[in-house]
Structure 1
């Protein structure tokens, strides 16, 4: 009888531990979703404010002229009101999550504001800031999850996103050379800058691949986190194929303005992403 009661107590204790573990996981999921919503609200507000600042230039752009503000579908007043509401709501809920996350979000807003107010007109610095902004989003995620911030990941992200930002500018330069558009002047670029953006962008892409390969080689050492780290070696190969495709299309002027938006809609990019995900899961 005593042994039965002891088994019941242990069973109830295990159920309680499982319930606590599930509740902790549920809270983490809710925090992640809430943080994503806050970041989405703030970034959407900054995009609106940036579009208002670039209104005249966007109306002369081959694709940006169809945006809500540039096309007149959304008035400037409504744009300001919507941006203000998104900022207030995003930061209010961010303070409920974490002070560090709120400070990181504020740093993102300050950098974006400096970019919109003038730094976007400084050639090459504008693309570097875009790379830093994307990397700041990674930092916000690690702050919220209270995890470490691996130096290799942040370095890889800066090089990768800098390369993608330069690819966007290179596409604009190539298209301006064939169409005679004057939209480059507001950014500080000239048609003659095409060889420079091409070399810098590809160089940054190669640097990101080197950083990723160093990480993979380190994980192949004994005692690391992955059980089959040799499968990680395929990830830099897939990424190099994707970056090569991005830069080939950008140099031909066939990139749809934004490499990230292009990757979401591109079937080849989606296929490479699936392969990367499979390689990562197999390596665990």
Structure 2
């Protein structure tokens, strides 16, 4: 079978389980051919379908995320290695980088802290955006830290990125211009579907109401934020009021930024001006 009919057939099969069946088919076939998707699309008539494509297709049909099958995910302007030890970086999280760009304008943050760094997506995206910055990524998972360090090495950012094992910012000192935080925020009894069924539970669930980690993080922020700095905090679409209250109770000023779908996605916390 040629590439074009193979893609059509795979798209039909994937339509049963995916909202993006054609894209999934193209990414899987490109991975099987060890080329990128653009090359696949440009060279369809020159290529043959490798035997391994069906195996990859079967994995996707069982619900396994594309990013775990191919081991890669694009985020912001970088491409990251991902494994089942980390959350898959999503476009919604790019809202945090956009908020930071608006806050700093022509300036650059000097020191960046990424709490719950996972694959390193937020920290490494920020470091790629601001070449003069350095940063620290913290995670409680040794496996996640190994993924993040590997990504920093591949992106030639390891000299500016320090990854540490830790429980949020416990025991951490210093002043940071930008703090990036994407904690678990799903309530324990919420029924999940899709890709998240394959992702690490420790990075998803945060107690009965989804707020356990926000409660721990909020009191840490005032001592870590530089006077003109900001914290960009990802939230669930219905958590703006509850998390804003936790931050305001620590004396922080809070604003909200929406994602591309118009949902509340990022809270921007800054030190309240002194009176």
Normalised by the shorter chain, which TM-score bucket?
Answer: 0.3 to 0.5
> Of the two, which has the highest radius of gyration?
1
Larger % of helix: which?
A: 1
TM-score (norm 1): 0.32
Higher strand share: 2
TM-score by length of 2: 0.33
